[in-house]
Amino acid sequence: MTTKTFGEPIARLEDPRLLTGQGRFLDDIGHRALAAAFVRSPHAHARITGIDVTDAIGVDGLVAVYTHEDLDGRAGEPLPLLIPHEALTHGRTGYALAKDEVNHVGEPIVMVVATDRYVAEDVCARIGVDYEFLPPVVGIEAARDGDLLVHDDVPGNVAARMVQSRGDAAAAIDAAPHVLELDLDIERSASTPLEGKGVHARWDADDASLRVYTSTQASTSVRAALAARLELPPDRVEVIAPDVGGGFGVKIVHPWPEEVLVPWAAIRLGREVKWTEDRREHFVGATHERGQLQHVRVGFDDEGRLLGLDVTVWHDNGAYTPYGIIVPIITTTQLLGPYKPGAYRAEFFSLYTNTVSVTPYRGAGRPQGCFAMERTMDAVAAHLGLDRTVVRERNFIRPDEMPYDHGLIFQDGRPLVYDSGDYPATLEKLKKLVGWEEFEAYRDEARAAGRRVGIGIACYVEGTGVGPYEGGWVKVETDGSVVAATGLTTQGQGHRTAFAQVVAEELGVPVDRVNVTTGDTRRFGYAVGTFASRAAVMSGNALAAAARKVRDKALRIAGEALEADPRDLEIVDGVVRVIGSPASAPGGSIPLATVAVLANPLRYAFDREAERATQFGGPVDFSKPPVAEGESPGLEDTGFYSPPRSTFANGMHAAIVETDPDTAEITILRYCVVHDCGTLINPRIVEGQIHGGVAQGVGGALYERMVYDDAGQLLNASFMDFLMPYATEVPVVETDHLETPSPLNPLGIKGAGEAGVIPGSAVLASAISDAEGFAITRMPISPSDLYSLRSTSTRMGETPR
Amino acid sequence: MKPAGFTYHRPVTVDDAVAVLAEVSPAGKVLAGGQSLVPLLNMRLAAPEHLVDINRLSELAYVRAGGDAVTVGALARHADVERDDAAYAVLPLLRDTLRHVAHPTIRNRGTTVGSIAHADPAGELTAVLALLGGTVTLRSAAAERTVTAADFFTGPMSTCADAGELVTSVTFPVPEGRTGAVWTEVARRHGDYAVCGTGTVVTLDDDLRVAGARAAFVSMGPEPVVLDVTDAVAGATHDTADWAAAGRLAAGRLDPEDDIHATADYRTHLAEVLTTRALRDAARRAAEVAP
Amino acid sequence: MSAVEELFEVTLVVNGVPRSATVPARRLLSDFLRHDLELTGTHVGCEHGVCGACTVLVDGRPIRSCLQFAVTVDGAEVTTVEGCGGADGELGPVQQAFRDCHGLQCGFCTPGFVTTITAYLEEHPAPSDDEAREAIAGNLCRCTGYQNIVASVLRAAELRAEEAGR
């Protein structure tokens, strides 16, 4: 029997708990806590001229009402701008509670604490706020016009303008035999996890310490931020991410206003306080992403090879820039995908609007970049009358050109250098999977039956595993079980299983003997967070490093006990033995549990295992101290992984769609994915990530958008009208994998979390364009939109193919 | 998203219920399945002072199917109507339409009468009642009355019911003669309110010629719209009738609005397409009816 | 409003056990289960009846617990995800199928799926692929893309059949 599970599709260790209702999500904690609710701005842009709480006083169950004026010390300062950048010349953040002005519907103004949430909402309804209305800036065009301003001191509403280039794109395009220009438009969507945000805080006055549970993607950084805001020593603050019901990016930005206010109120009141975001709050109080306008100018030769590419992006960053300009930086760098663009220039404007702030949502700018590039590839192919896959193939970076330096700076501030990938092989696999060559015959058949079908393709490269670092801690207990921890957080990715597989592999123990904790500052204090498809790469390698150190130590101690050279020893199924020898060989093996006992010399024998480790427990070499110099007691260690730069996963999607000639309904008939994220730890988990990503991609392409009216009201702030797909809207995903290991990390892994979502809009636009015979340039697209486009294109004298 | 407080009443008989309604009128609201009302309460878009919960009025939990009508009591859940084989035998349109109403979990609790009393212009059952020329029975502490669907619906989300009245049942008449009836709709997601939905009834004479053709629509106006389109197809045999002309006739008489899911133009276009399809299918069904 | 709300004693038979609490009329069944009875397996994802995370069985039928007042269903039998297990604390067939098929990721929507599917399979013990998809069409999941949940429905049907055959 082997203990090997690394690379195997094992069932998840976290599932039994979650399946039986034993999960502990934020709102499952603290039944006796006071409840917080917020009065939020109903207006997109206004000055606050007065707050009247008279009517609220005396409501049975009311505990406290707070406004900005109450926020003492640093709690009243603007929230941090987490990722500064020299191009972000006009970064702005809001306050935990609005001070004087509100800049989007949903901005918190008053905090109410009461005995339960029902009462807290009663109180909110009785608080009056007076406003002086200011003209709202809604939509990218309005922001770009700059006639009206979101922030008085930000001219043109431009938070940031940034240019990156390699070569002289304008000159290369001008000199090219063919030039095309495209105007593209992608609307807003949002992460929309099924669990909203939430915070629970408990102040222990006796211990002068604060414990905060929050459904965050970055607990260590929340701790640092709270310690700073609340002016507490960091060591007196514990932050724990409990079970988190999905993140997808929206929970990476921090601290949220509520994340500051709930602990602040808990300290002030000396009571447990909890806030559980409801769905309406989530729509207007959390963050969105995706909205961009793009202009592409491309020059290419007769073969379809790009000679120059010039892209301008107008990015809607909403009311504030708490997460900096990561999203448009990613758009303008990851846009390049698997291609060599010739000379390249990308310029973006990050613009303020009076809408909810924009921070990364799974894909984080990549879906928009992919859309720009892949629409361009299709346009080039259409212009030259070439097969769309041929044009792509001709522009691919070849495997022998790896590592490939684009000459640009990536989102982590480091050079954009692809480490590995075999794009031609990926394309071949995809063409085979979807039946690219056979499609025309299928189209003819369908057409004869009065049906309209189309096929689309889109390719992407995804920078994953960005630094700066993650760490891991591994300890073998004296019963032979293994506990491990890493600081980054989990929102459903199966980290407990995947990381246990890594640790089990390195330590030679059964995977179900490994218990992994994530996102708990009590267990591991140094971490960055879960984003950018980085967890497996970063914490996987960090835990592997920690486990390897523990293994080395175990072999050293076992070597002494067995009087063997550690180099001749191995650990199999939790037993250290001479390599290749059966575990039953007399004197030839020692359980890891025993090694753990020996690793910690004891004075007190509290049980029989401990007795063996006491100073009188066995033969002793009096020439050595009980703990050797340079060693520490216990069979445990920490390890860190800090990559020189990101590692680049890649993949390609193809879709076959049917568009109803009469009703303009769009049906996805097939959806195929070929994906390369390096070495797989657990193929089943990776596959699940792809499925989920594709569903979000389909949502973003065909169903989801945030509809703001001119006054800045979000018109579809509910699951009735924000159309997250149900099972009946999501296609079956057919997948195939390549495994091109990353040369950058010992495990050879690349990130997989965001991959599925990236080409969604691009591939479906490609397929719908193919079915309809005219170019789709704006996503998402509804049947109503398609119907309108048909009317327009018919008027233009085109006939659908 | 927690409801505001209210005074709660849970009568156990219809007499008690209407007495309470009379007492608290006009500040009372009836709670049946709650699938439309409770979301409004949770969002505090509605905050009635009194809630009269009729979930204990077991005398109203019935579906009665006769030869010429199906009568549904106020406490019959959509699922009860949908599963009722006797009702399906005389009026298959009910089950066919109910399958388009939200999802099974909602239909397990939502009541057919409640959705009609709610008078949502996007509610399928509202349109079906209007299409079939059904009736609504209301009880007050003083009297009982029965009104036609046409008189009952007075506007979007508004009916002729007085604040002291309880809708106790609705009656869907079975269309007379050799008829077929079909519901069809296009929704953004499966189970969503329709972007456009239509129910049609086609009546054929003994020679299988079209004697009558009617269509009702949801999401195409402020209240259920019923159109008689017989003129476009009268006298034609069911398989040669110009159903597209009937579809055009219907679409030309509708005046829908834009919303975030669809333009008015698209809705009108859908009405034409769906009406054409549904009438053709209804005629085929009528032709298959044993004479 | 400052008047104290009238309270009602509500008794439900939850997963076979009578449970009572005294609550205002406006207490939603979802909150009653979660906060008054501290059975937190039932999750709340939207509180307007669309997501399905709060689905529980009332007298055997799946309903949205966020759209009911606890007082309305006073006296009813309620099954939550905590009551969908097998004998001896093992996973029930639907739960086991989810584990076998990787039918969950974050696990937040999962209780609503488990209850919905449990009731569905009672009435439709051998669904087809399409029927399995239709059966879960009223529940939102943001993680899985549903493919493995559809597989879980089919797998659960198999497990139930095996169990019945034993």
* CATH classification of the domain holding C77: 3.10.20.30
Overall average pLDDT of the A88-109 stretch = 98
A729 part of contact set with chain B, CB < 8 Å: yes
- C35 & C63 share domain: yes
**The domain boundary residue, chosen from B173, B194, B215:** B173
Residue A617 has pLDDT above 70, yes or no: no
Q: Identify whether A627 is part of a domain.
A: no
Domain boundary among B131, B157, B173: B173
Number of domains chain B is built from: 3
Integer Cα distance of A43 and A252 in angstroms: 26
Which residues 71-110 of chain B have a CB within 8 Å of chain A? Answer: none
Residue C1 inside a domain? The answer is no
**A47 domain residue, yes or no:** yes
Question: Which one of C22, C57, C83 terminates a domain?
Answer: C83
Decide if A619 is inside a domain: no
Instruction: Count the neighbouring beta carbons within 10 Å of the beta carbon of residue A383.
Output: 15
Average pLDDT over chain A reads 95
Nearest alpha-carbon partner for A364 in A72, A612, A700, A4:
A700
pLDDT over threshold 60, residue A687: yes
| Res B173: pLDDT | 98
Segment B34-61 shows an average pLDDT of 97
Do both B166 and B66 map to the same domain?
A: yes
The pairing of strands B194-204 and B178-187 is antiparallel
Q: Per the domain annotation, does C156 fall within a domain?
A: yes
Quick one: average pLDDT of A10-25? Answer: 97
Among C35, C62, C83, where does a domain finish?
C83
Q: Provide the total of helices (H) and of strands (E) in chain B, helices listed first.
A: 11, 14
- Nearest Cβ partner of A194 from C24, C39, C109? C109
* Strands annotated E in A626-713: 636-641, 647-659, 666-676
* Alpha carbon B157 to its chain's center: 13
CA–CA dist C158, A577 (Å, integer): 43
Q: Do C109 and C50 contact (CB within 8 A), yes or no?
A: no
Neighbours of chain A (3+ CB pairs under 8 A): B, C
Average pLDDT over residues C8-14: 98
Pull the structure tokens for residue A780: 């998402």
pLDDT tens track for A660-675: 999 999 999 999 999 9
Task: Summarize the confidence of residues C87-109 as an average pLDDT.
Answer: 96
**Judgement on whether residues B62 and B168 belong to the same structural domain of the protein:** yes
The CATH number for B92's domain is: 3.30.465.10
Q: Which residues of A touch B191 (CB under 8 A)?
A: 726, 728
Q: Comparing C-alpha atoms, which of B34, B36, B37, B28 is closest to residue B9?
A: B28
The whole-angstrom distance between A510's CA and the closest CA on chain B is 42
Q: Does residue A1 surpass a pLDDT of 50? A: no
Residue C98 lies in a domain: yes
Q: A750 and A695, same structural domain?
A: yes
Is B260 touching A (CB cutoff 8 A)? yes
Q: Are residues A485 and A447 in the same domain?
A: no
A496 and A584 share a domain?
A: yes
Report which DSSP code applies to A179: E
Is residue B2 in a domain?
A: no
Are A81 and A202 part of one and the same domain? Answer: yes
A231 plus A299 within the same structural domain: no
Residues in chain C with CB shorter than 8 Å from the CB of B55 are 72-73
Examine residue B244 and state whether it is found in any structural domain, yes or no. yes
Same structural domain for residues B91 and B16?
no
CATH of the domain at A358: 3.30.365.10
Note whether B220 contacts A: Cβ–Cβ < 8 A.
no
Give chain A positions within 8 Å (CB) of C154. none
Bridge partners (DSSP) listed for residue C78? C14, C58
Residue A608 lies in a domain: no
Shortest Cα distance, chain A CAs vs residue B262, angstroms: 5
Q: Say yes or no: C92 and C150 in one domain.
A: yes
Residues B169 and B63 in one domain: yes
CB C127 within 8 A of CB C135: yes
Would the pLDDT of A2 be above 60?
A: no
* A662 close to B (CB below 8 A): yes
Question: Over 80: is that where the pLDDT of A363 sits?
Answer: yes
Task: Tell me whether residue C78 is in a domain.
Answer: yes
Candidates A21, A718, A727; nearest CB to C150: A727
What is the rounded (10 degree) CA torsion for A393, A395, A400, A403? -130
The interface residues of chain C toward chain A in range 69-108, judged by CB-CB distance below 8 A, are 80-82, 84-85, 91, 95, 98-100, 102, 104-108
| Proportion of chain C in helix, strand, coil states, percent, rounded to 5 | 40, 15, 40
Is the domain of A280 the same as that of A401?
no
Together in a domain, A303 and A256 = no
Pick the residue from chain C with its C-alpha nearest to B35: C67
Tell me the per-residue pLDDT of C28-83, one tens digit each, with 9 for 90 and over: 999 999 999 999 999 999 999 999 999 999 999 999 999 999 999 999 999 999 99
- Whether A730 and C39 lie within 8 Å, measured CB to CB: no
% helix / strand / coil in chain A, to the nearest 5?
A: 30, 25, 45
3-state secondary structure A465-522: CCCCCEEEEEEECCCCCEEEEECCCCCCCCHHHHHHHHHHHHHCCCHHHEEEEECECC
pLDDT of residue A3: 60
Residue A491 has pLDDT above 80, yes or no: yes
Pair A458, A511 in one domain: no
In this structure, are A109 and A220 located in the same domain? yes
| Domain tally, chain C | 2
pLDDT category of residue A609 using cuts at 50, 70 and 90: confident
Two tokens, residue C35 = 């906060």
pLDDT score at A257: 97
Question: Which residues of chain B have a CB within 8 Å of the CB of A716?
Answer: 260
- The residue range of the domain holding C18 is 7-83
Contacts of B186 in chain A (CB under 8 A): 663, 665, 783
C63 and C79 part of one domain: yes
Average pLDDT over residues A431-444: 98
The pLDDT score that the predictor gives to residue C3 is 63
CA angle B169/B172/B174 to nearest 5° reads: 150
For A526-572, what is the HEC assignment? CCCCCCCCCHHHHHHHHHHHHHHHHHHHHHHHHHHHHCCCHHHEEEE
Beta-carbon contacts below 8 Å between A and C: 183
Residue B131 lies in a domain: yes
The rounded percent of chain A whose pLDDT value lies above 70 is 97
pLDDT class for A643, splitting at 50, 70, 90?
very high
3-state secondary structure of A672: strand
In a domain, B145, yes or no: yes
B8 to chain C: nearest residue by CA?
C25
- For residues A254 and A236, what is the distance between their CA atoms, to the nearest angstrom? 19
Q: Tell me if C72 and B191 make a contact (CB, 8 A cut-off).
A: no
Instruction: Decide if A247 contacts A360 (C-beta within 8 A).
Output: no
Asked whether the beta carbons of residue A125 and residue B4 sit closer than 8 angstroms, the reply is yes
Ranking A188-192, A497-501, A610-614 by mean pLDDT, the lowest is A610-614
The model's pTM is 0.97
Contacts of A268 (CB under 8 A, 6+ apart): A64
pLDDT value at B81 more than 70: yes
- pLDDT (tens digit per residue) in A518-553: 999 999 999 999 998 999 999 999 999 999 999 999
Nearest CB to B191; choose among A125, A279, A726: A726
- Residues whose CB is less than 8 angstroms from the CB of residue A192 and which lie 6 or more positions away in sequence, other chains included: A248, A250, A282, A704, A722, A724, C142
Which pLDDT score is estimated for C90?
A: 93
Closest CA to A757 of A377, A289, A224: A289
Question: Which residues numbered 98-117 in A keep a CB inside 8 Å of some CB on B?
Answer: 117
Q: What is the pLDDT of residue A584?
A: 64
Closest CA to A82 of A189, A201, A207, A216: A216
ipTM, two decimals, is 0.98
Contacts of C120 in chain A (CB under 8 A): none
Within a domain: residue C2? no
Cis, bond preceding B224 (omega within 30 deg of 0): no
C8 CB within 8 Å of a chain B CB: yes
For chain B, the 3-state helix, strand and coil shares in percent, each to the nearest 5, are 35, 25, 40
Assess if residue C48 is contained within a domain.
Answer: yes
Domain containing residue C97: CATH number? 1.10.150.120
At residue A618 the predicted structure's pLDDT band, cuts being 50, 70 and 90, is: low
Say if residue A571 is in the same domain as residue A662: no
- Provide, rounded to the nearest whole percent, the portion of chain B with pLDDT above 90: 95
* Of the partner residues C1, C5, C138, the one whose CB lies closest to the CB of residue B103: C138
Q: For residue B122, give its domain range.
A: 58-173
> How confident is the model over B110-156, as pLDDT tens digits?
999 999 999 988 899 999 999 999 999 999 999 999 999 999 999 88
- The 8-class DSSP code of residue A756 comes to G
Q: Answer yes or no: do C104 and A278 touch at CB < 8 A.
A: no
Q: C96 and C113: one domain?
A: yes
Residue C94 covered by a domain: yes
Instruction: Collect all residues of chain B within an 8 Å Cβ-Cβ radius of residue C78.
Output: none
Half-sphere exposure of A623 (CA within 13 A, CB side): 0
- Together in a domain, C109 and C143: yes
Is the pLDDT at A797 greater than 60? The verdict is no
User: By C-alpha distance, which of A675, A649, A641, A652 is closest to A750?
Assistant: A649
pLDDT for A585: 64
> Which pLDDT value is given to residue A798?
44
Are residues C101 and C116 part of one domain? Answer: yes
Q: For residue B30, is pLDDT > 80?
A: yes
- A-chain residues within 8 Å CB-CB of B266? 664, 783-784, 787-788
Chain C residue closest to B79 (CA)?
A: C61
Q: What is the mean pLDDT of residues A385-402?
A: 97
Domain around A751: 292-466+644-795
Q: Which residues of A touch B193 (CB under 8 A)?
A: 720
Domain boundary, last residue among A607, A641, A675: A641
**What digits encode the pLDDT tens for the residues A272-297?**
999 999 999 999 999 999 999 999 99
Residue from A38, A192, A9, A17 nearest A114 by CA: A38
Least Cα separation, residue C18 to chain B (angstroms): 20
Interchain contact, C106 vs A720, CB within 8 Å? no
Chain B residues within an 8 Å CB radius of A728? 189-191
Q: How many domains is chain A built from?
A: 3
Q: Where residue A624 falls among pLDDT bands split at 50, 70, 90?
A: confident
Q: Examine residue B123 and state whether it is found in any structural domain, yes or no.
A: yes
Across the interface, which of A22, A244, A727 has its CB nearest the CB of C149?
Answer: A727
H, E, C per residue of B153-220: EEECCEECCCCCCEEEEEEEECCCCEEEEEEEEEECCCCCCEEEEEEEEEEECCCCEEEEEEEEEECC
Identity (one letter) of the amino acid at B55? N
How large is the average pLDDT for residues A722-734? 98
Q: Are residues A762 and A790 in the same domain?
A: yes
- Give C91's DSSP letter: P
Q: Are A196 and A279 in contact (CB under 8 A)?
A: yes
Residues C59 and C95 in one domain: no
Same domain, A236 and A304: no
Model confidence over A566-603: pLDDT tens digits?
999 999 999 999 998 875 666 689 999 999 999 998 88
Q: What is the CATH number of the domain that holds B216?
A: 3.30.390.50
Residue A612 pLDDT > 90: no
DSSP code, position A702: I
Chain B contacts in chain C segment 127-146 (CB below 8 A): 137-138
Residues of C in contact with A116 (CB under 8 A): 35
Using the Cβ of C47 and the Cβ atoms of chain B, whether some distance falls under 8 Å is answered with yes
Angle among Cα B78, B247, B175 to the nearest 5 degrees reads 45
> C53 and C23: one domain?
yes
B270 lies within 8 A of chain A by CB: yes
Inspect the interface and report whether the beta carbons of B4 and A280 lie closer than 8 Å. no
Decide if B137 is inside a domain.
yes
| Residue A786 reports pLDDT greater than 80 | yes
Cα–Cα distance, A492 to A464 (Å, whole number): 18
> 3-state class of A347 per DSSP?
strand
Percent of chain A whose predicted confidence (pLDDT) is above 90: 91
Is the CB of residue A665 less than 8 Å away from at least one CB of chain B? yes
- Chains touching B by CB (3 or more pairs below 8 Å): A, C
Question: Distance (Å, rounded) from C-alpha A627 to C-alpha C131?
Answer: 65
For B52-88, give the DSSP string: EE-TT-GGG--EEE-SSEEEEETT-BHHHHHH-HHHH
- The verdict on C120 and C147 lying in the same domain is yes
Q: Would you tell me how many other CB atoms lie within 10 Å of the CB of residue B176?
A: 9
